[in-house]
Structure 1
Amino acid sequence: MVELELPFVICGEVKEGRDTCLSFNRDKDYNLFLPSLCEDDITQIASIDSIGELSVREIISFLCEAGRLWRNREYRWRTLASEIASVTTGYSKQMIDLSYDTLSEVLNEDFLLRLLEVEMRDIEFLDRWVKLGEADVHAVPLGRILHVLAGNVPLVSLVSYLMGILTKNSNVLKVPTGDPATSVCLCLTFREIDPSHPVTKTSSAVYVAHDSDYLTRLFEIADGVCAWGGGSAIEACRRKCRPGVPFLDFGPRKSLQFISREIYADDKDLKTAALKAAQDLVMYDQHACHSPQIAFVESPAELFCRALVEALNEVETFLPRGYTSIEEKAQITLEKTMALFSNGKVYCSRSKNCTIIL
């Protein structure tokens, strides 16, 4: 049995404890110990509702410092996040490293400015009153935003947290069982950079069970909610949300690939298309909403399948599949058997970790 520990961050302050235990059965058994919320924590979170008078560029400068630290794979909070996330998500260390490399690129001035310009049109709206036609316009913080995060992709649901920061709100992250470490360690990074910075003091990252009274309390003090996850998780959040509170849901998605016959005209085009398709397929072991589950391929599809197998063999050398449970392996075997009985064709990568059914 391997034991791991992770604190909470509440308004920039660290709370440690071993009140809660999350267990994971991977190649060996793991127990992750965390503290638990109390009413004093809720009161503290409720006392802060916005970042204050910082300009957008001052906020971006602070976030970029966190990005600079996370570019170093040996940085202590990234190392802790990677150790725990590899266990809780079940993804390979290479997949986690790729996610955190991407996070460090997201925490970049050019990227964050472009993100705001796309979403807000003019970032000056966030700092001051701006003349727009006959009206003066100024975007003000909503207040406390509760982010109910999903654990299948360490990076994606953090986007709503970053937007919450950039729009000067106070942010509460309800971290998921599947990935409690990424959000907490990012908040710990903010604290390390400057424990008194407004971004630090307005950030909280906590784990709380879905049936806990304290989760209900977090919904009660929220001025807005961003919820990520499957259909049942989204509906559960919607039921907990107070009437009139803005609710943004990022629910279940299905992704597809479309492969047209033009790729067969040239071997180079075929290999390029197969490699790009393989990269999409292996990302997050197909647990992400952007992971293609079905591909519609124009004939001769067998030619594409053979090229795809070769591409998967190549991609798996640097992005191997993570942990696969006995139940998942049994389901894959059943699907392959059913396909063969139905006169389908089954293709497998060299490692047998990727299966294509035609």
Structure 2
Amino acid sequence: MVGITMVTALTAKTVKNDNTVQINKSKFFFSITINIFMTNFKYFLKYTTIMSENNFPDYITFPRTFEKYRWYKPILVLIIGTIVFLALQALLLVIFSAAYGSDSINALLLQGYESLNSEVGSYIGYLSVAIFLPSLYVATKIVRDRPFSSYSSSRGGWNWKLFFKSLTIPLAVYLIFEIMNTLIHGQKGPNTLTLTFFVICLIIVPLQCIGEEYIMRGLVMQTFGSWFKIPVLAIVLQSIVFTSLHPYSILGVIGVFMQGICLGFLTWRSNGLEAACALHSVNNLISAYFVALGFEVSSSVITPYDFASTIIVSVISTLALYYVGTKKGWFEEKTEKLW
């Protein structure tokens, strides 16, 4: 997870052993996280109770506006999509096994998030999620309950201009915190970054994030929203599903849940996936590059420091992007074509 610099001088105490120092740091990170969350919680509630000021349909309940909508059709999409996904997943593993050997690939698959510390492991990890996108597309075309673009937004489809503009705010936030963290903590591992890895990740990591957003904030959140007609409930439920797919330690699970809430909120208030996809892409790209540079280490076990940093950076990025996007009218632009 992406690190964040804390001013350790605030916790400076005279201690006589490493255990006491670690406890003091953990308490500090938890207290900072809680303070940041509570400070912004009222802001979050304020905007979750305000209806959209534009004329776009509510994104979360958008599927109900289509004539062919039936409550059970999202389940059919999920079943067919899963079958397509498993077939593509098998094909992906066959290709990588042929290229790198089945034994080495099997060993990588058993490493969990630690596999993202290697180049090949990163490729497999990102591509295995990116195939969510074609899987959902095929399933949607088979079930034919609504246009595929209705997963993109309730503004008429995917807006590339909005996506690229939405990259700027979280990119600035994540880079500032990550660079400061690097200056404080220094190198954690060897520098393995290559031009090939940089370029490939620049392509497949956003695809991975977009694929995951189409499933989680698209299919899953819209399904719950269409069933229960309560957007806030749909945001919470999709975040629970999102969290269940990330096998971290307990602090990591809580962190992922909060990230899911942030991404769900951003999708809801922007009436589309572009902003959430941008935020998600920045998070994963910065993580991939800084792991390759040796400034971060990917792990399934999350420390209190990583937990606090995840919450703080996610909340700041979400609120900043939502504030700027709303003020600048980024979320008001309509995409004409439904495809």
- Structure 1-normalised TM-score? 0.26
Q: Return the index of the structure with the highest Cα Rg.
A: 1
User: Comparing both structures, which one devotes a greater share of its residues to strand?
Assistant: 1
Q: RCO higher in 1 or 2 (8 Å CA, sep ≥ 6)?
A: 2
Q: Give TM-score scaled by structure 2 length.
A: 0.27
